[in-house]
Amino acid sequence: MKRPAIAVTGLGMITPVGHTTDTTWDGVCAGVSPARTVPELLGCEVDFACTVTGIDLDDAVGGRTAFRMGRYVKFALLAAREAVADAGLDPARWDGARVAVVVGTSSGGSAGLTEQTVALERRGPAATSPSGILLTIPSMPAAEIAIGMRATGPSLAPCTACSSGVTALSVARDMLTLGRCDIAIAGATESIVFPVAMTGFARSGAAALRDGDPARLCRPFAADRAGLVMGEGAAIMVLERAADARARGAVPRALIAGAGATTDAHHPTSPHPSGEVAGAAVEAALRDAGWRAEEVDHVNAHGTSTPLNDATEAALIRRSYPHRPPVTAPKGVLGHCMGAAGAIEAGLTVLTLQHGVVPPIANLDAPEPGFDIDCVTKAPRRVPVRRAVSHSFGFGGQNAVIALQAP
C-alpha cells in the first residue's frame, strides 16, 4: 500500500529572536546572536543565555489559566496557536477526536520543580503554588494545547533529549500515516535557563564560559569553538495528509518525506567518535524518503559549538553528502534550545525550502580546517532547495533525522 504524503500546513515559533515564525526567520537570517547576561543567573559560572524577551507571556496566553503553566508550556501554547491559525484551521469547527497532539521536551518542568523546592525549603508549604505539580509534568504542553484546541485524540510527550522535537514530528507523521488521526499538532518546547541547569551544563564541560561578548561565544564548526550557549523557545507544526490538505484548499509549506532514528549506545553525553550510528539515522531518513544522498540540497546541522559534537557531525556530513550541500547551524544565533531545538530547526528547514535561502552560521568565518563542509557564513545564501534534511543528536546518543521537501 502506498504511504500517504504528509504535509506541513501550519507553523508557529517563539524563540530568542522572534515571537512568531516570520520574526524568527528574519532574526536567524540576520545571523546575530541575542545572548546576554541574565539577571537570574548572576553568581553562576555561566550567567548568560539566549532568552525570549519583549513579551508578557501571561498576557499573551490570556484568560485566567496562565498561573498553572510553566514557561515552557506557555511557549508551546503560543506557538500552537500560531501554527493552527497559519494552517487556516478553526478548533471550534474540527472533529477534536481526530486531532492528535505530540509535543516533546527534554527537561520540561525542571525549572518549576526547582522553584517549588526552593520555596518549600525557605518559606514552608504555604509558599508553594497550589498548581506546583502542574509546573513540573513534561506532558503539560501537550495537555494544555489539547485543552485549548479541543483536541481529544491521542496526546503524547516524547522525550529523547535534544532530539525530542524531531522525534515528536516523526511520531505525529506515523500516526497520520496509520490513520490514527487526521490532524496532528506536533513539535517541542523548552525553557531551562535557571541556575541549577546552567550550573550543571557548566560543570559538565558542555557550556561555553564567559570570554568577552556572550553574543560571540556560540561558534558552530569553528576551530575555536568553546561550548554551547543555552537558548529557549518552541516550534509547533500542523501536519495533515497532503490529500486532505488539498481537499480543503490548504497550501502546504512543505512535505515530510522521511525520518530516521538510531541510538549510539556509547556514552551518556559524548557522541560515538566514529559517527557511524548517527550516520545510520541519516541513511534511514534518506531511505525512507526514497532519496539518493546527492539529491539533498541542504543540511540543517545540529551544530552545538562543542568540540566533540561538531567534529563528529562534520565528518558525518562529509561522508553522508559527498557533493557538499550548503550547511547551516541555527544554534549560533538561537543558542541550544535543548528539547525544542529539533523542532525549531526543522521549522527553519521548512522556511529554507519555501524561500530558497539558507541562513548563515553566526560567529563563523570559516569551518575548522579539515572539516571540508560547505558552511554558509556571513550572510544568507540564496540557492534552490527542493530537498533538505535536519539533524538532531541528543544526550544518551539519541539520533533523529528528518527529511523535508518542497510540496
pLDDT tens per residue across span 359-381: 999 999 999 999 999 999 999 99
Q: Which residues of 192-216 are buried (b: 16+ CB within 10 A; e: fewer)?
A: bbbbebbbebbeeebbbeeeeebbb
* pLDDT, tens digit, 9 for 90 and up, residues 99-124: 999 999 999 888 888 888 888 889 99
With H, G, I as helix, E, B as strand and everything else as coil, classify residue 361: coil
Write down the pTM of the prediction. 0.96
Single out the residue of 350, 26, 39 nearest to residue 169, CA to CA. 350
E strands along 191-243, which residues?
233-241
Q: Which residues are catalytic?
A: 162, 302, 336
CB 185 within 8 A of CB 128: no
d(Cα 320, Cα 134) in Å, to the nearest integer?
Answer: 43
Domain 258-405 in the same topology as domain 6-247: yes
What one-letter code names the amino acid at 343? A
What pLDDT does 253 receive? 98
- Asked whether the predicted pLDDT for residue 1 surpasses 60, the reply is no
What is the Cα–Cα distance from 199 to 298, expressed in whole angstroms? 35
- CATH classification for the domain delimited by 258-405, as one of 3.40.50.1100, 3.40.47.10, 3.40.50.720, 3.90.230.10: 3.40.47.10
Backbone φ and ψ for 353, nearest 5 degrees, come out as -60, -40
C-alpha distance from residue 166 to each of 117, 260, 302, 341, 380 (Å): 31, 9, 11, 9, 24
Q: Where are the domains of the chain?
A: 6-247, 258-405
Out of 44-48, 119-123, 322-326, which region has the weakest mean confidence (pLDDT)? 119-123
Do the beta carbons of residue 279 and residue 262 sit within 8 Å?
no
Query: Which range (96-100, 208-212, 340-344, 351-355) has the least confidence?
Result: 208-212
Handedness of CA 163, 105, 111, 73 (dihedral sign): positive
Span 6-247 CATH architecture: 3-Layer(aba) Sandwich (3.40)
For residue range 51-84, list pLDDT tens digits in order: 999 999 999 999 989 999 999 999 999 999 999 9
Quote the pLDDT of residue 69. Answer: 95
Half-sphere exposure in the Cβ direction for 230 (13 Å, CA): 28
The pLDDT confidence band at residue 17, using thresholds 50, 70 and 90, is very high
Are 336 and 225 spatial neighbours (Cβ–Cβ below 8 Å)? no
